[in-house]
């Protein structure tokens, strides 16, 4: 069993049933280190999507780095929490099929026409209610234009290694 709460490394812990996940055969296939790393990603995604930027029913969520550890966790947690649309982005077409297998629909690449494709996918919404960005770099600045009015940008990492990217407060308010 996997426990997503305090005391998860104890030999025994009293926990609510809804916080328990059976791991029958999972550690055999993935190995304990992978399971422990996944727990951190899933916990981060769950806390972020329930406490920091709470999802409400039928929200449209865009997750960058959909084939990565943190991005894949955010997509799966968003779907489990009832997001109406969970769209992923990947840096290359070769990663798209894997991201689709994780439940992202559709998956976009972060090339030159990302903004046009994202607007097409968002449809009448005019953008995404929440953009989750574990990638950072120039993609973070581009993310502002992918949000709908009053949308939120959740910066959760810098996998690109590009460092902090300033985002104009004017662009947040005026688009």
- CATH code, domain carrying 157: 3.40.50.720
Asked if the structure places residue 147 within a domain, the reply is yes
Residue labelled with tokens 């502002």: 144
pLDDT tens, per residue, the chain with 175 residues:
555 555 556 667 777 777 666 666 666 666 666 666 677 888 889 999 999 999 988 899 999 999 998 999 999 999 999 999 999 999 999 999 999 999 998 999 998 899 999 999 999 999 999 999 999 999 998 999 999 988 999 999 888 888 777 776 666 666 5
Four-residue CA torsion sign, 64, 160, 54, 150 = negative
- pLDDT value of residue 171: 66
Asked if the structure places residue 47 within a domain, the reply is no
Which DSSP helix (H) or strand (E) runs through 150? strand 147-155
What's the rounded Cα separation, in Å, for the pair 139 and 127?
Answer: 16
Tell me the residue range of the domain where 79 lies: 54-174
Cβ(20)–Cβ(2) below 8 Å: yes
Cβ(12)–Cβ(20) below 8 Å: no
Asked if the structure places residue 23 within a domain, the reply is no
User: How many domains would you assign to the chain?
Assistant: 1
- pLDDT value of residue 172: 61
Asked if the structure places residue 18 within a domain, the reply is no
- pLDDT value of residue 105: 85
- pLDDT value of residue 26: 61
Asked if the structure places residue 110 within a domain, the reply is yes
């Amino acid at each position: 069993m996997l426990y997503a709460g305090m005391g998860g490394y104890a030999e025994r812990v009293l926990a609510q049933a809804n916080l328990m996940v059976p791991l029958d055969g999972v550690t055999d296939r993935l190995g304990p280190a992978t399971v422990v790393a996944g727990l951190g990603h899933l916990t981060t995604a769950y806390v972020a999507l329930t406490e920091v930027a709470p999802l409400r029913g039928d929200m449209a969520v865009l997750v960058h780095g959909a084939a990565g550890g943190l991005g894949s966790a955010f997509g799966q947690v968003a779907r489990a929490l009832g997001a109406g649309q969970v769209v992923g982005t990947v840096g290359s077409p070769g990663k798209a099929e894997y991201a689709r297998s994780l439940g992202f629909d559709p998956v976009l690449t972060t090339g030159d026409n990302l903004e046009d494709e994202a607007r097409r996918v968002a449809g009448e919404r005019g953008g995404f209610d929440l953009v989750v960005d574990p990638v950072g770099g120039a993609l973070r600045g581009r993310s502002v234009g992918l949000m709908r009015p009053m949308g939120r940008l959740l910066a959760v990492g810098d996998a690109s290694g590009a460092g902090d990217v300033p985002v104009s407060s004017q662009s947040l308010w005026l688009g």
